[in-house]
A and B are shown apart, each in its own frame.
Chain A
Amino acid sequence: MVSQSDAQPPQALPPIVQTAVGSMALVIAGGIYLAAYLPHQAPLPIPVVLISLGGVSLLAAAAMLTRLRDFAWTRFRLVSGWALVAYAVIAGMIEYVLLVDQTRGALLVLMTITLAIFALDIPIILGFSVARHQQAGSASRP
């Protein structure tokens, strides 16, 4: 039995979840902006900026992740791997709807990038949120 006093203090970890959630919020905001103009095409500068910032945030989260040393990588891979499969299916469904609805050109490219960032953010969030509370096994890097 582990009481509260027995609990190990959490090690200081970089703000990976916060960064990934910020990335997700940015791309969702961009997606909402685009969707608000449907069935017409929205002006692209604002969503391009939002989605670009979302992509940069995702890369920043990934970079912070790869710098971790003492971390439960096995658990992270397990959770994030299955989450990636699940959200790839979901993103694929949405992409399919866009294609069926004859979405083409720059709008399709933007929406595809949005979905890709979305589908990569969530596995990082879920995998890190679980693995950070697990005992680090082999400290092998991903």
Chain B
Amino acid sequence: MAILKSPGARIDAKLFSEALPSSPTAPKVPRVAAASFRRSAVADTVSGISLPSPAAAGVSSPTRVTIVPLAGLPIVGAALIFLVVAISANWLWALDFLHVAGGGLWTGIDLFVGLVIGPIIGRMSVPSRVEFSTRFMPKMVLIMPTLVILTLASGLQLARNLGNLAVPYPNHWWLVASFIVVGVMAVIALGLLEPANLAVLFELKKPQPNGALIAKLMRRFVYTAGITGVMQIATLVIMSRIATW
């Protein structure tokens, strides 16, 4: 059920809507369209422009785009080991910590990036946006799946220990609802959002990225990110309800 989020999605749609037309031969993107945060407008704008090489945009060579930052793997490994120990030893405090901290960071990062970081990036210079995206997105590839597995695994174990799973209906429906929400998010994120995320990163590594392809993938980003955002709010409501039984 991991990799349910891609907080960079909202960023990328806005990023490329203004970042691409630095080529002298490329048609200009209307500023009003690029500045608008309407998702369909952004996606349509992106589809009609050409993509300059990253070098032309003033950023480093595309071959320097990292897909998975290897330096972060030991941290991920340590977190997973801690999770295994917490589950095997049934440390209630550790399970509680992992579930609350992991879930808080998961939800918080997603909403913060979408609502705060995104608009800031929208006002940055073109090279800065491209460079930020190529450095930011790979880190999300490691951070979000780790947070998701920490949250879900510790949450299931915590629920068993606290007896929440044995709560009779109608309250049990809240648990079922949380399972359904996570399931829908998993299908959307793993089946649509994350593949597009990876495809964009690999496209950026090419010497001559395909602007039309990136535009198409950005459009998918935008729509799926919106759906998972709604799911996030539903998760917050359900978890608050369960926590106050």
Do A and B bind? yes
Are A133 and B50 within 8 A (Cβ)? Answer: no
Known: A28-B183, A29-B183, A90-B2. A130 touches B25 (CB 8 A): no
Shortest beta-carbon distance from B4 to chain A in Å? 12
Are A1 and B52 within 8 A (Cβ)? Answer: yes
Are A4 and B50 within 8 A (Cβ)? Answer: yes
- A113 and B215 alpha carbons, distance in the complex (Å): 37
Query: Is there a chain B Cβ closer than 8 Å to A106's Cβ?
Result: no
Are A129 and B199 within 8 A (Cβ)? Answer: yes
Q: Which residues of B contact A1 (CB under 8 A)?
A: 23, 25, 50-53, 56, 208
Are A125 and B84 within 8 A (Cβ)? Answer: no
Q: Which residues of B contact A101 (CB under 8 A)?
A: 157, 160
Interface residues of B in 130-168 (CB under 8 A from A): 145, 149, 153, 156-157, 160, 165-166
Query: Is there a chain A Cβ closer than 8 Å to B66's Cβ?
Result: no
A10 to chain B: closest residue by CB: B213
Query: Is there a chain A Cβ closer than 8 Å to B96's Cβ?
Result: no
A-B contact count (CB 8 A): 115
Are B183 and A126 within 8 A (Cβ)? Answer: no
Shortest beta-carbon distance from A3 to chain B in Å? 3
Interface residues of B in 56-95 (CB under 8 A from A): 56, 68, 80, 83-84, 87-88
Query: Is there a chain A Cβ closer than 8 Å to B124's Cβ?
Result: no
Interface residues of A in 1-34 (CB under 8 A from B): 1-4, 6-7, 17, 20-21, 24-25, 28-29, 31-32
Interface residues of A in 77-115 (CB under 8 A from B): 79, 82, 86-87, 89-90, 93-94, 96-97, 100-101
Q: Which residues of B contact A134 (CB under 8 A)?
A: 202
- Show 24 A/B contacts (Cβ-Cβ < 8 Å), sorted by A: A1-B23, A1-B56, A2-B208, A2-B209, A4-B50, A7-B211, A24-B191, A28-B186, A32-B176, A36-B175, A38-B160, A79-B202, A90-B145, A94-B1, A94-B153, A96-B84, A97-B87, A100-B157, A101-B157, A126-B198, A130-B195, A130-B202, A133-B202, A134-B202
- A94 and B151 alpha carbons, distance in the complex (Å): 12
Q: A-side interface residues toward B, CB under 8 Å? A: 1-4, 6-7, 17, 20-21, 24-25, 28-29, 31-32, 35-36, 38-39, 75, 79, 82, 86-87, 89-90, 93-94, 96-97, 100-101, 122, 125-126, 129-130, 133-134
Q: B-side interface residues toward A, CB under 8 Å? A: 1-2, 23, 25-26, 47-53, 56, 68, 80, 83-84, 87-88, 145, 149, 153, 156-157, 160, 165-166, 172, 175-176, 179-180, 183, 186-187, 190-192, 194-196, 198-199, 202-203, 208-213, 215
Which 7 interchain pairs have the tightest Cβ spacing? A129-B195, A3-B50, A21-B191, A4-B212, A2-B208, A28-B183, A7-B212
Other-chain residue from A7, A28, A96, A133 in contact with B87 (beta carbon distance below 8 A): A96
Known: A97-B153, A130-B202. A2 touches B51 (CB 8 A): yes
